[in-house]
């Protein structure tokens, strides 16, 4: 089976979809470009499926390379047979492939290799074949006694032979495959406390066991971390008798033979010393990899929902970065994100300083017509929220509201080279407040400046393979940026470099071109940007927007390659470009229905999916897909943990979604947990099937623990 055939089978795709998609990837097209502008070729595969496709294609190609390397190495040893080559070709997993290769892999010095150096391999073969019916094992071993080689006695010779047999049994690919299956199906993942008297966050796992086959990702991650931090001892336990019986049945002849008991002992040694530790490592690694992949998918979905939150437009915002000793940092930005003012206030010190802080903020609100306070949710945020709520009440006729903003990564950004270049006249603390203000105006544009793994919307992200995590999260940011589109005349270099076909160098060159030549008035001007060649132009042009440019299509996601078709469509339906500019296309769908979209597509020389996309874009040039997302929850008043009582019904914002539930901000500083069992009246397979980051939800208080600062919530019956 070819790679293309395997992909079609695994992903349930038609062969032509697979062949076309592989060709597009190999031609250097990006996933966002393929997803948006090559729908006819792929059968309208979305970016999520395409990324899975790309990952799997890379894995299978790496497998093919590994198979070729293994066959070459075995061929060089003169041991490659047709049967062995077929076995290698048919291997579906890397673990299977490595099992086949194991007997041929150059080995480090083992007990078996030492025994072979002593000339004991023929003795091992005699015993292993179990064909000798007369005499004793000592009689068989006698000819191999050689003090010069370190074989002093028959017992030495027999022990060496058993070491060789044990390694032979261990290297059997079929045995390893079977034992791996038995362990995966019947094994138990167990953990014990290294010091039962020492309390820790891992207490639930001090005496824990769970079938390997049912191990849950978030528990695997917790157990792994507990083991790494020396709180837990972890094992995979299995009924060894069952496995030894399987091996004996496979390795021992039914007839009595000299040395049969030695083979039986070697089999037991092979399992306990060589096979079991390796299989346990493999099973643990597979569980960890599975848990990491699941955690990355959760992180991927959470990050996507966070980045795609609706912007709060048209607001002058004060960003507040709370703090105790160093005070609360203040940054004011206008509707476009331009910095108007900065400062520091002290609201947790003396009453005099608190009153001074109120006067300062009231002055900023009046001076700049501020309409929103964005409060970072870190240290001292509760005190800052209470302060802000009181301040709003003290201003007569005040229209100001506040929002709690996830400040994860703000400190990382504010101390970065990028922040220094963007705000050279401000110090680290001021930049952080500005970032918190801007995050509510355009979450996507601001959050792309931060390393994705520093945005706290996952679980155990710091334990994962950072390279793989970077690839996954980078793909999410890329997909989000390209689905929204980027304003070519205002976008920062960090935002531009996530656009399809644009790297860091080209992004910097676009900004430089804009600074030297003035604003872009046409997408075709991109061709003048240094190092932005024809391929890069093809990949990026459709994702870059120009408001009030020379061509109305430049403010849509219609690709320049389709401008001709768009113009012909407008004319065929009896409209003009002016109608597009003025938004006079209200009955366009009726006109298309009359002419039949299939006939129109054929007439214009484009596919139906492309034509549908063109129609959606020209109906509303410059549209932002995030405008259809629910607006964030703005608050005017504040509650405390002590105000909460069971049965209270509140409205909150989902802040994080994990395997076992969702954390909801209900305005009391401490997020409450809606356990997976409390998310719905119906069975919930995974929390993400019910809620996403940014969702506004109704919840009921189940239980409040002020000491441990835990809030249990439910969404049942609401």
pLDDT in tens, 541-570: 999 999 989 999 999 999 999 999 999 999
- The stretches of 214-320 forming alpha helices (DSSP H) are 217-228, 240-251, 260-269, 276-307
DSSP string, 470-484: HHHHHHHHHHHHHHH
Q: Give residue-wise pLDDT tens across range 132-167.
A: 888 999 999 999 999 999 999 999 999 999 999 999
Long-range contacts of 513-518 (CB under 8 A, 24+ apart): 514/488, 514/489
pLDDT at 535 over 90: yes
Q: What architecture does CATH give domain 641-714?
A: Beta Barrel (2.40)
Report, as an integer, the average pLDDT of 21-48: 96
> What residues contact 376, with CB distance under 8 A and at least 6 apart?
319, 320, 321, 322, 384, 405, 407, 410, 432, 433, 436
- Residue 339 region by backbone torsions, left for phi larger than 0, else alpha for psi between -120 and 50, else beta: beta
Contact 361, 464 (CB under 8 A): no
Report, as an integer, the average pLDDT of 5-12: 95
DSSP 201: T
Question: Quick count: other Cβ atoms within 10 Å of Cβ 412?
Answer: 16
448 in helix, strand or coil? coil
CA dist., res. 432 & res. 321, Å (int)? 7
Q: Give residue-wise pLDDT tens across range 65-105.
A: 999 999 999 999 999 999 999 999 999 888 889 999 999 98
- Residue 317 region by backbone torsions, left for phi larger than 0, else alpha for psi between -120 and 50, else beta: beta
Q: How far apart are the first and last CA of the chain?
A: 52
- Residue 539: Cβ-neighbour burial (10 angstroms; 0-12, 13-18, 19+): buried
3-104 sits in which CATH class? mainly alpha
208 in helix, strand or coil? strand
DSSP string, 519-575: S---GGGGGGSTT--HHHHHHHGGGEE-TT-SSGGGGSS--GGGHHHHHHHHHHTT-
Instruction: Of 348, 403, 398, give the one whose Cα is nearest residue 375.
Output: 403
**Which pLDDT does position 198 carry in this prediction?**
92
Question: How would residue 243 be classed by pLDDT, with cut points 50, 70 and 90?
Answer: very high
Q: What are the boundaries of each domain within the chain?
A: 3-104, 317-441, 641-714
**Which pLDDT does position 537 carry in this prediction?**
97
Contact 183, 211 (CB under 8 A): no
CA dist., res. 427 & res. 419, Å (int)? 10
Q: Give residue-wise pLDDT tens across range 469-524.
A: 888 888 889 999 999 999 999 898 999 999 999 999 999 999 999 999 999 999 99
Rg (Cα) of the chain, in Å, rounded?
A: 33
Beta strands in 165-259 (DSSP E): 188-193, 207-211, 232-237
CA dist., res. 667 & res. 638, Å (int)? 6
User: Beta strand pairing status for 328-333 and 339-345?
Assistant: antiparallel
Instruction: Of 303, 302, 317, give the one whose Cα is nearest residue 634.
Output: 317
pLDDT at 459 over 70: no
CATH number corresponding to 317-441: 3.30.420.140
Give the H or E element holding residue 140: helix 137-141
């Amino acid at each position: 089976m070819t790679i293309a055939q395997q992909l079609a089978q695994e992903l349930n795709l038609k062969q032509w979809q697979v062949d076309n998609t592989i060709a597009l990837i190999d031609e250097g097209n990006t996933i966002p470009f393929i997803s948006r502008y090559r729908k006819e070729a792929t059968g309208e595969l979305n970016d999520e499926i395409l990324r899975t496709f790309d990952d799997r294609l890379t894995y299978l190609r790496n497998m093919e390379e590994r198979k070729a390397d293994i066959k070459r190495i075995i061929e060089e040893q003169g041991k490659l047979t047709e049967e062995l080559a077929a076995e290698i070709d048919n291997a579906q997993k890397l673990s299977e492939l490595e099992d086949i290769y194991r007997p041929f892999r150059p080995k480090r010095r083992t007990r078996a290799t030492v025994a072979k150096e002593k000339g004991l391999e023929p003795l091992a073969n005699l015993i292993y074949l179990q064909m000798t019916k007369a005499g004793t094992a000592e009689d068989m071993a006698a000819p191999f006694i050689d003090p010069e080689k370190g074989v002093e006695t028959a017992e030495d010779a027999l022990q060496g032979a058993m070491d060789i047999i044990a390694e032979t049994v261990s290297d059997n690919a079929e045995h390893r495959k079977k034992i791996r299956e038995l362990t995966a199906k019947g094994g138990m993942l167990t953990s014990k406390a290294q010091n039962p008297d020492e309390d820790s966050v891992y207490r639930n796992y001090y005496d824990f066991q769970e079938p390997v086959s049912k191990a849950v990702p978030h528990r695997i991650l917790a157990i792994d971390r507990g083991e790494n931090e020396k709180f837990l001892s972890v094992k995979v336990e299995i009924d060894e008798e069952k496995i030894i019986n399987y091996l004996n049945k496979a390795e021992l002849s039914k007839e009595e033979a000299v040395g049969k008991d030695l083979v039986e002992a070697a089999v037991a040694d092979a399992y306990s010393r060589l096979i079991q530790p390796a299989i346990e490592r493999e099973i643990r690694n597979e569980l960890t990899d599975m848990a990491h992949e699941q955690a990355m998918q959760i992180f991927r979905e959470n990050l996507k929902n966070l980045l795609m939150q609706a912007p709060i437009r048209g607001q002058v915002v004060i960003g507040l970065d709370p703090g105790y000793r160093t005070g609360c940092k203040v940054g004011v930005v206008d509707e476009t994100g331009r910095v108007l003012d900065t400062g520091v206030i002290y609201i947790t010190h003396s009453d005099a300083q608190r009153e001074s802080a109120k006067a300062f903020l009231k002055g900023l609100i009046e001076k700049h017509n501020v309409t929103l306070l964005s409060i970072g949710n870190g240290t001292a945020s509760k005190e800052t929220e209470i302060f802000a709520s009181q301040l709003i009440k003290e201003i007569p006729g005040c229209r100001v509201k506040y929002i709690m903003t996830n400040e994860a990564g703000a400190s990382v950004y504010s101390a970065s080279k990028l922040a220094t270049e963007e705000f050279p006249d401000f110090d680290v603390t001021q930049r952080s407040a500005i970032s918190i203000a801007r995050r509510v105006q355009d979450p996507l544009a601001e959050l792309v400046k931060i390393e994705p793994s520093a945005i706290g919307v996952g679980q155990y992200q710091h334990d994962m393979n950072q390279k793989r995590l970077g690839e996954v999260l980078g793909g999410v940011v890329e997909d989000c940026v390209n689905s929204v589109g980027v304003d070519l005349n205002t976008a920062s270099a960090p935002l531009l470099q996530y656009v399809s076909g644009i790297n860091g160098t080209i992004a910097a060159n676009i900004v430089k071109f804009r600074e030297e030549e003035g604003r872009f008035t046409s997408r075709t001007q991109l061709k003048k940007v240094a190092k932005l060649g024809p391929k890069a132009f093809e990949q990026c042009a459709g994702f870059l927007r120009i408001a009030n440019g020379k061509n109305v299509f430049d403010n849509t996601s219609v690709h320049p390659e389709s401008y001709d078709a768009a113009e012909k469509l407008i004319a065929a339906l009896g409209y003009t470009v002016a109608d597009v500019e003025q938004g006079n296309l209200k009955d366009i769908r009726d006109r298309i229905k009359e002419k039949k979209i299939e006939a129109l597509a054929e007439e214009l020389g484009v596919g139906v999916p492309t034509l549908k996309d063109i129609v959606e874009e020209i109906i509303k040039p410059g549209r932002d897909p995030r405008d259809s997302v629910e607006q964030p929850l703005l608050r005017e008043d504040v509650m405390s943990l002590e105000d909460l009582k069971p049965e209270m019904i509140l409205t909150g914002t989902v802040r994080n979604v994990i395997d076992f539930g969702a954390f909801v901000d209900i305005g009391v500083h401490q997020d409450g947990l809606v356990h997976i069992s409390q998310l719905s009246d119906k069975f919930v397979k995974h929390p993400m099937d019910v809620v996403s980051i940014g969702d506004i939800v109704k919840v009921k208080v189940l239980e409040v623990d002020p000491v441990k600062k835990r809030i249990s919530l439910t969404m049942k019956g609401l």
